[in-house]
Amino acid sequence: MPNTVSLENSGQTATDPGFITTAVSFIQDGGPFMYPIMVVLAVGLAISLERIIYLQITKAKNKKIWNAVYPYISKGQFRQALETAKNSNTGIAKIITYGLERSRTARRNEDIELAMEEGLMEITPRLEARTTYIGTLANIATLLGLLGTILGLIQAFTAVASADPAEKADLLSASISVAMNTTAFGLMSAIPLLLLYAFINAMTSKLSDSMEMATVKFLNIFRQVTAQQERKEE
C-alpha cells in the first residue's frame, strides 16, 4: 500500500503544471504583444541595475575621497588637498578641485562658491542619466498591454460574429480571458519598473544632497582656515 500511494503522488506531481509551464502558457496565450512587453521589461531592469550599481559606486568613491581630502583642508594644506582631488575622477573631487583652483585667484568667498556650484551642475546630469527612461518604459509597458487587449478583443468579437450561436458565449469568454493577459502582463511589468524608478530617484537625490552638504562644509572650513591664517600673518 505505501508503495502504491507514493507512486500515485509522484505521478500526480509529474502531471501537475509547474510555474515555468504556467508562465510560458500565459505568455503564449497573450499573443504577439507579450514579447514587446518582455523586451521593455528587460531593458528597464537592465537600466535600473546599471543605475543602482553606478550610484552605489559613486557614493562609496565620494565618501573615500572626502575622507582623504578633509584632513588637508582642515589643516590649511590646500595644495595637498588639490593634488589628492585631481587624482580622483569622482564627483565630489571635481567640485573640490573647482573650488581650490578658484581660490587661488578669487578675492571673495562667493566666487569660490559659484565655482563649486558650477562643478555640481556638471555632475548632476551624470547622476540622473537614463533614470527618466525607466518611468517612460513603465508607461510603454502599460500602453502595450492595453493595446494588445484591445486588438485581442476586436479579433474575439470578429471571430464570435461568424461562430455557431451555441458556442458564442464560451468562445467569447475564452477570447476575452486570453486578451486580458496582455493588460495583466503590462501591469506586472510596469509596477516594478515604477518602484525602481522611485527608488533610483531617491538614491540620486540623496547623493546630490550629500555633495551639496560637502560643498557647504568645504566652504565653512575654508573660510575658517583662511581667517586663521590671515590673523597669524598679522
Q: How many structural domains are present in the chain?
A: 1
Please report the pLDDT score of residue 4 as a whole number.
Answer: 46
Rounded distance between C-alpha atoms, residue 17 and residue 106, angstroms = 73
Residue 31's SS3 state is coil
Query: Cα angle vertex 211, ends 207, 217, to 5°?
Result: 140
36 within domain boundaries: yes
Own/partner long-range contacts of 95-98 (Cβ < 8 Å, ≥24 apart)? 95/119, 95/120, 95/123, 95/211, 95/214, 95/215, 95/218, 96/65, 96/69, 96/214, 96/218
Q: Is the pLDDT of residue 6 over 70?
A: no
User: What's residue 142's pLDDT?
Assistant: 94
User: Does 78 score more than 60 pLDDT?
Assistant: yes
DSSP of 34-99: HHHHHHHHHHHHHHHHHHHHHHHHHHHHHHHHHHHHHHHHHTT-HHHHHHHHHT--SHHHHHHHHH
- Residue 11 belongs to a domain: no
Domain assignment present for 27: no
Q: Do the domain assignments include residue 4?
A: no
Domain extent at residue 178: 32-233
Helix 34-74 to helix 78-86 angle (10° resolution) is 160
Q: What is the pLDDT of residue 15?
A: 46
Q: Percentage of the chain with pLDDT > 70?
A: 84
Within a domain: 9: no
Name the E strands within 87-172. Answer: none
Asked whether residue 73 is domain-assigned, the answer is: yes
pTM: 0.80
> What is the average pLDDT across 108-117?
86
> Average pLDDT over the chain, rounded to whole?
84
pLDDT value, residue 134: 96
